[in-house]
Structure 1
Amino acid sequence: MISGVASESSSQLLPWQQPIWQDLVRRQQQSGLPHALMFTGIAGIGKHELSLRVAHWLLCQNSSGQADGLTESCGHCHSCQLWQAGSHPDFMVCQPEDNSRQIRIDSIRKVNEFLAQTPQISRCQVVVIRPVEVMNTNAANALLKTLEEPAGESFLLLEAERFGSVLPTIRSRCQRIQLLAPSAEQAQQWLQASGVSPDQASQALRYNPQAPLQAQLWLEHNLGEQQQQWLDLFGQWTQGRAPLDKVVAAYTKMELDDVIHWYAGVLADALKLTLSVAEDQLLHGGWLAQLLNACGDGATLNKTKLITLQRNVQEIQGGLLSGAAHHNKQLLNESLLLQWRALLQ
């Protein structure tokens, strides 16, 4: 959806972003930032949080952007008050709306119309577009002119998880700011500082490697328990102890993105297992080896079929991430489960 809503907490600086933040402030104070920045990096490391912080700072009436300007938003001016209320008239977020997976041309037209106006409170306007790689071709073409010739004093902050999937015409008109994931120690410390126990933090980061914000959501939504239920059902299906319709019904209730991401993890473990990778290097530890042993008769996996299935799942995952894929959840889950059973030999 498109919204001007932002909160003070959403623009807090994450510890591993400090060097990038300092560099952005220095550049803005010395020569000014380019009008189009693209923040790139994996999901769950704080791209949106950094975008919001930059937007808040640029809109603050007491942060002049000159050498004597503030390096933090003041939090007291009229602009900051509107920001904290989530109703700043010079700020917009553009993202997929109406339950769509894509950013369509109508959304970009609203962005262009917004930027054609004069700022109401601040000396500039700021638009965040996320994730930019799901803009369809028409939307991307509609944005090109604005990227080339921005109206007035305006800033476009684009966010992308898959930089290579962004159209070259968009990439070439933005300055890329690549965000690196925090170290394992930083991620662990950050999660523990939010009240998570060391064991919980380690488990969450194992399932969400290098992505502490994803790990935090994983814990908040009890996804570990949910994924264990998926594993139990998957094991029952593999051993022939659960009918197809029961397993499919359970998986179909879940978001397809989550299920496919989970499948990808299981198949990665399976491929590593065929290559005799140590259990401590597997996402689900020794679970899969134990499952195959429980199937009896020296059950193994057909490596050729496994690679084919893994590629199939990767293609499905890529289509879902791009926003262009449309699947019947029930039929897709049935197909994947049957293909998995066909791997056993």
Structure 2
Amino acid sequence: MARTSDIEKAAGVLRAGGLVALPTETVYGLGANAEDPTAVSRIFQVKGRPPSHPLIVHIGGADQLDDWVEEVPATARLLAEHFWPGPLTLVLRRGRRVPLEATGGLETVAVRVPDHPVALALLSAFGGGVTAPSANRFGQVSPTTAQHVRAELGDGVDFVLDGGPCQVGVESTIVDATGEVPSILRPGGVTREDLEAVLGRPLTVHATSRVRVPGQHPSHYAPRARVVLVEPEAVVAEAELAQERGHRVGVFLPPSLTDAAVKAHAVAAVPASMNAYARGLYGLLRELDQKGCDLIFASLPAEEGLGLAIANRLRRAAGPRESA
């Protein structure tokens, strides 16, 4: 776990225009001073991320929101009061402190307060906002440990703050709060049901949206192996058929089939708890990659609670990939 001296060093790196990998409750982020366009641009270079893809600005508390956005509608204020610190990102009109480099050229900005003691300590020591997408190569599996960051980005990061494994494991829920009717642009660590309970109204979940936000690329959160989605009852048969045809097959075995014997290269048992599944999802994808699988067979969970976010990540991981 990061020491006070580590946090002070990381804050100094940010002030000097460097990049810091920081833990959050969702995934590890690749952070830069949100008000330094040069440092922000370096995030895109290190990740290989298109500059048109906006970043999330992390701040130290809901009381700082007005410093970063043009206005805060009542709905956004209500959500911030209920869910911050936490895995909820609000999309609002950009304030003048936020450079266009951080927003992908948009006049909107995504903002959140992370619920992790190390991240909050860093934001306090630094005294400003930190733009921080996931600390991995663009489109690939998000990191949930400091070791994941070091293995993937290496010297591209100036300092890695180790805050232990991430406790949520999937990225934040992104809510468009710019209009009269809020909507979910990316499901994540705050469930649709929890948001609807606070707002007292149903929310639409958009596969795509007029507002560009992180995580909407057709192929995202993807391992090297190709992910194939099938119905739960077909996972074993489809996986074994592919294995017989010469593939090195990895299997996400659903809880209903935990006792099934599977002829495959590697098998990962899916937890029955959606909290545990979300926390371990990216680690399981990385594990099957490391075991040399070239295909991963999985099925979608019920799309309720955190299952909605897990299903979203699996669909993106199985999305069409650009040819090399």
Q: Normalising by structure 2, what TM-score? A: 0.30
- Structure having the higher strand fraction is 2
Q: Normalising by structure 1, what TM-score? A: 0.28
